[in-house]
Structure 1
Amino acid sequence: MAENYGADQIQVLEGLEPVRKRPGMYIGTTGPRGLHHLVYEVVDNSVDEALAGHCQKIQVTLKADGSVVVVDDGRGIPTDIHPSTGRSALETVMTVLHAGGKFGGGGYKVSGGLHGVGISVVNALSEWVEVTVWREKKVHTQRFERGLPIGELAIAPCPDHRTGTAVQFKPDTQIFATGIEFDYNTLSGRLRELAYLNAGVEIVFTDERLELIKRDVPRCDVFHYAGGIKEYVAYINNDKQPIHEEIIFVSGERNNVQVEVALQWCSDAYTDNLLGFANNIRTIDGGTHLEGLKTVLTRTMNSIARKRNKLKESDSNLGGENIREGLTGVISVKVPDPEFEGQTKTKLGNMEVRGIVDSLVNETLTEYLEFRPAVADAILEKAIQAFNAAEAARRARELVRRKSVLESSTLPGKLADCSSRDPSESEIFIVEGDSAGGSAKQGRDRQFQAILPLRGKIINIEKTDDAKIYKNTEVQALITALGLGIKGDEFDSAQLRYHRIIIMTDADVDGAHIRTLLLTFFYRYQRAMVDQGFVYIACPPLYKIERGRNHYYCYSDRERNQIISGFPDNAKYDIQRFKGLGEMMPEQLWSTTMNPDTRTLKRVEIEDAAEADRIFTVLMGDRVAPRREFIETYGSRLDLTDLDI
């Protein structure tokens, strides 16, 4: 019997109910990323006050009770009665979706934020929120619980003339089932980034969770950079050898679009590192601002090269990837009405921005280098060396380009390919050695799983020029098998042969080193692969415990101890420690590590691009002193009692 479908079956969600019903639509996920997004939303409101010129200091504090408080010295959220709701403007922005001063009302010329879903969403997903506003010689307070106001707005005289807003909230465990514990490093990375992008704004970050952080006093970091993105570039290049000490800086505004660019070339780097931001949002998928920057760099540097007779009339122009070799650059644009594109909405689409960036950078860069010919010559010399090395590399182009008909391409002989020709359903396991490769090849599902065994350790791409990279057999196999293209070319995911690239190495020191070398390769050769989430790490078990006819696989020492503690005191059991994947039978490897229904994969993500770049330089570069300092600083903080070598 058919069910009646009428108006009474149409569900209408009132107020903030849609947010609590479908939180993923508003913050992406209810996991750790979504949890931290709540903090960013509140902080971004304070940053917008700074962009408008009304805020100099922002304080972010992690409280011992699991809540977070964000305090600024801006103008304070308006508290007068809103004409549309009949409630205070404060209550309106806290309880009504898409209510705020950033929708053409003249409150803000430019607003940042991570696609600002608004403080009302933070309110909806919190157990409680308490807001304090200092404004017009009064202090206004109101409490909310799970999105609903508790009582009216309370108003009292303010003894001083301070202005600003304090928002304290505790995330709701009913929403964030995986926990509401904030990670200090994740938050500090974003707060540091915001301080670099907004010169002069002081952000004080404090952690008062003494029991958690195992300290007697709170941890506190102050992020305050008068030099803005110039200091950002200096931070990234701290452990590199710059070609020119002075950082090239471009700043200007046209048609209400504000542009800042900071550039510095280094002699000991073989890749470029360009970070793009639009309204404080990291544009990992690029966009018109980065396109404009790359275009003008190529045109301007080639023009200067010909003026200085570095290129003869018959010579071809230097490629953009040659000119950008060794370059660290940050471009930050502030656009009144930003248009974001791409699957993750992190690609700037405003067409007018490209031309504005082009003209501003061309003027400043040309003038800078004409007055500093030695700097121009040094940058061009590195670019010409890169061009010559790239010419040798281009001989391998046919090998590294993915053919439309895969059977006609020259794939490495050691690759055990999968049957599927659909990259979106295909995955490849990169394993160390023939022994592990043999188990993986026998245990895999041939329909969608490919295996590529590597012999020994691949070269460290961090300190290797292009010519040596393309001569290395193992690297060549990687490039060809994955369909990566030429280093420096724009990444095209359509050329990728597998959409899950899984590093599967032994659980020992050598395995960790090989994994690090592979991550360095992916990050430096084609970082967009990592940015767009194609790189994973497999999690094979460390132990197999057998007791009678039962067996258990354990992925950590803690899990092993938990299982053993559950046995009776007089039980006889056997523990096998897997030190190499080759020790595992094919069916064991499949069931524990390769079967999509039972395995655990870790996706490699970059939370803090500048810090990631710096760490790769320190740990994988050819300068010993910074690496020794890093190990001496952080090695003492590690618990090495259970180190298995």
Structure 2
Amino acid sequence: TGPKGLHHLVYEVVDNAVDEALAGYCNTIDVRLLEDGSCQVTDNGRGIPTDIHPQTGKSALETVLTILHAGGKFGGGGYKVSGGLHGVGVSVVNALSEYVEVTVWREGKTHQQRFEQGNPIGELQVAPDADDRRGTQVRFKPDATIFSETTEFDYGTLASRLKELAYLNAGVRIDFTDERLQLTKNHEPHQETYYFEGGIREYVAYMNTDKQALHSEIIFVQSEKDGVQVEAALQWCVDAYSDNILGFANNIRTIDGGTHIEGLKTVLTRTMNTIARKRNKRKDADNNLSGENIREGLTAIVSVKVPDPEFEGQTKTKLGNTEVRGIVDTLVGETLTEYLEFHPSVADLILEKAIQAFNAAEAARRARELVRRKSVLESSTLPGKLADCSSRDPGE
């Protein structure tokens, strides 16, 4: 219930809108921080269903807002892949808010309901909608008795996550407005729009802004196998000597890596070594280039969408699905091999950098061994002037 939990309320509502986008029903998400300390999220998706839910006898909308794990995805007709650590969904937002107001536009009608402290206030109100809009709007104000530390949203924290979501979901437009005039510059609303047609390719370009790219075009993989969607974007840089790889699973940043990152690393090492031998950059007698050699200077993003994600570790920031390793390996391998066959000059640039890294690592290893061997030899016999002391005179 600290600041982290506070911002998670926003993400939970935004994730629902992103799910609609992933399912192909929504392309604009509007997020506003309002003067009274509430947050309002509007999308142009299908709208939360409002018909009577068979198990609860209440409207589906009320059910989603009041029952834990009721969300999502309403039987088989739901969304394929869901972002966020879902299931808990908006019911948690409702439980932790002073009030929630939901407006749904669908089928030519406007549906509205208000909740306070998690409980519905009156019935679902339905009125005709002359504009025939569609979408969902959720406005909520965090409960100060629960979030005792602070209920004030931090613009920067939310902005960086919303921007990240826009990068990860190409073509989705996210508008973010801060209407808390006492906090904004010049006391005017502050608005930013995040929209990236190129998705994670633009993310890699942004990460490499201040670096010198080894090859201008970002290598891009987008494919699907066994229900797992894989996107990867790769660009090597001349002036970087380590790798910078970001992993995401269902839009969640996997800080501790996981099987998708392992799959990427494995396939890079194998593919580049194969190409090195094909292009006579390595002779039969030469050692293989190591993964570290090949990844030197690489900026990469790998984003997977998995139907049933398993997150591991204390903070759930490591992807555990074993099948993802092989899928990433296969799909990235196919695209990368094909790309480098058609762009041999790019392959040569990457390999030359990797071979330089290999040679530098070898030279460093030899130098280390030499120093160690030397110090071992020096310490095994005492210097000449200080001969070993051995005397038979017990008086000494």
TM-score of the pair, normalised by structure 1: 0.56
Cα distance change of structure 1 residues 285 and 395 upon mapping to structure 2, 3 Å threshold: farther
1:356 is displaced (CA, Å) by 1.3
User: Out of 41, 44, 62, which is 2:15 matched to?
Assistant: 44
User: Aligned pair 1:387/2:355, yes or no?
Assistant: no
User: Out of 307, 319, 323, which is 1:348 matched to?
Assistant: 319
User: Out of 62, 79, 100, which is 1:129 matched to?
Assistant: 100
Distance in 1 (alpha carbons) for counterparts of 2:130 and 2:86: 37
Distance in 1 (alpha carbons) for counterparts of 2:213 and 2:290: 21
Distance in 2 (alpha carbons) for counterparts of 1:394 and 1:53: 53
1:106 is displaced (CA, Å) by 3.1
What is the aligned partner in structure 2 of residue 367 from structure 1? 338
What is the aligned partner in structure 2 of residue 218 from structure 1? 189
What is the aligned partner in structure 1 of residue 382 from structure 2? none
Q: What are the within-5 Å matches in structure 2 for residues 629-640 of structure 1?
A: none
What one-letter code is carried by the residue in structure 1 that aligns with 2:5? Answer: G
1:172 is displaced (CA, Å) by 0.6
What one-letter code is carried by the residue in structure 2 that aligns with 1:278? Answer: A
User: Out of 301, 304, 327, which is 1:333 matched to?
Assistant: 304
What one-letter code is carried by the residue in structure 1 that aligns with 2:99? Answer: W
Instruction: Count matched residues.
Output: 369
What is the aligned partner in structure 1 of residue 67 from structure 2? 96
1:209 is displaced (CA, Å) by 1.0
What one-letter code is carried by the residue in structure 1 that aligns with 2:49? Answer: P
Counterpart secondary structure, 2:191 = strand
1:214 is displaced (CA, Å) by 3.2
What one-letter code is carried by the residue in structure 1 that aligns with 2:14? Answer: V
Give a deviation string over 1:138-159, Cα, whole Å, max 9, x none. Answer: 0011111111111111111101
User: Aligned pair 1:317/2:323, yes or no?
Assistant: no
User: Aligned pair 1:297/2:268, yes or no?
Assistant: yes
Q: Any conservation in 1 of the 2:72–2:87 contact (CA below 8 Å)?
A: no
What one-letter code is carried by the residue in structure 2 that aligns with 1:39? Answer: V
Give a deviation string over 1:486-525, Cα, whole Å, max 9, x none. Answer: xxxxxxxxxxxxxxxxxxxxxxxxxxxxxxxxxxxxxxxx
Identical counterparts, % of pairs = 76
What is the aligned partner in structure 2 of residue 84 from structure 1? 55
User: Out of 172, 180, 197, which is 1:209 matched to?
Assistant: 180
Distance in 1 (alpha carbons) for counterparts of 2:351 and 2:101: 57
User: Out of 56, 60, 74, which is 2:27 matched to?
Assistant: 56
1:101 is displaced (CA, Å) by 2.3
What is the aligned partner in structure 1 of residue 235 from structure 2? 264
1:62 is displaced (CA, Å) by 0.6
1:114 is displaced (CA, Å) by 3.6
Q: What are the within-5 Å matches in structure 2 for residues 55-204 of structure 1?
A: 55-102=26-73, 105-204=76-175
Distance in 1 (alpha carbons) for counterparts of 2:352 and 2:298: 13
RMSD: 1.4
TM-score of the pair, normalised by structure 2: 0.91
Consecutive unaligned residues in structure 1, runs of 5 or more: 1-29, 399-645
After TM superposition, the runs of 4+ consecutive aligned structure 1 residues lying more than 6 A away are 395-398
What is the aligned partner in structure 1 of residue 378 from structure 2? none
Distance in 2 (alpha carbons) for counterparts of 1:307 and 1:104: 51
Give a deviation string over 1:556-607, Cα, whole Å, max 9, x none. Answer: xxxxxxxxxxxxxxxxxxxxxxxxxxxxxxxxxxxxxxxxxxxxxxxxxxxx
Give a deviation string over 1:608-642, Cα, whole Å, max 9, x none. Answer: xxxxxxxxxxxxxxxxxxxxxxxxxxxxxxxxxxx
Q: What are the within-5 Å matches in structure 2 for residues 419-498 of structure 1?
A: none
Counterpart secondary structure, 1:316 = coil
1:382 is displaced (CA, Å) by 1.0
Distance in 1 (alpha carbons) for counterparts of 2:352 and 2:169: 34
Counterpart secondary structure, 1:212 = coil
1:396 is displaced (CA, Å) by 9.0
What one-letter code is carried by the residue in structure 1 that aligns with 2:162? Answer: L
Counterpart secondary structure, 2:183 = helix
Counterpart secondary structure, 2:77 = coil
Cα distance change of structure 1 residues 264 and 137 upon mapping to structure 2, 3 Å threshold: same
Distance in 2 (alpha carbons) for counterparts of 1:114 and 1:219: 30
What one-letter code is carried by the residue in structure 2 that aligns with 1:142? Answer: Q
1:60 is displaced (CA, Å) by 0.2
What one-letter code is carried by the residue in structure 1 that aligns with 2:132? Answer: H
What is the aligned partner in structure 1 of residue 381 from structure 2? none
Q: Any conservation in 2 of the 1:40–1:114 contact (CA below 8 Å)?
A: no
Distance in 1 (alpha carbons) for counterparts of 2:362 and 2:147: 53
Give a deviation string over 1:124-173, Cα, whole Å, max 9, x none. Answer: 00111100000111001111111111111111110112110000001011
What one-letter code is carried by the residue in structure 1 that aligns with 2:333? Answer: N
What one-letter code is carried by the residue in structure 1 that aligns with 2:172? Answer: V
Q: Any conservation in 2 of the 1:41–1:116 contact (CA below 8 Å)?
A: no
Distance in 2 (alpha carbons) for counterparts of 1:199 and 1:292: 23
Consecutive unaligned residues in structure 2, runs of 5 or more: 370-396
Distance in 2 (alpha carbons) for counterparts of 1:326 and 1:116: 39
Counterpart secondary structure, 1:215 = helix
Give a deviation string over 1:100-139, Cα, whole Å, max 9, x none. Answer: 1237543111111144521000000011110000011100
1:283 is displaced (CA, Å) by 0.9
What one-letter code is carried by the residue in structure 2 that aligns with 1:217? Answer: E
Q: What are the within-5 Å matches in structure 2 for residues 245-284 of structure 1?
A: 245-284=216-255
Cα distance change of structure 1 residues 118 and 393 upon mapping to structure 2, 3 Å threshold: farther
User: Out of 189, 212, 216, which is 1:241 matched to?
Assistant: 212
What is the aligned partner in structure 2 of residue 412 from structure 1? none
1:185 is displaced (CA, Å) by 0.9
1:390 is displaced (CA, Å) by 2.1
Greater shift in the superposed pair: 94-103 or 230-239: 94-103
Distance in 1 (alpha carbons) for counterparts of 2:20 and 2:28: 10
What is the aligned partner in structure 1 of residue 377 from structure 2? none
What one-letter code is carried by the residue in structure 1 that aligns with 2:305? Answer: K
1:350 is displaced (CA, Å) by 1.5
What one-letter code is carried by the residue in structure 2 that aligns with 1:215? Answer: N
What is the aligned partner in structure 2 of residue 21 from structure 1? none
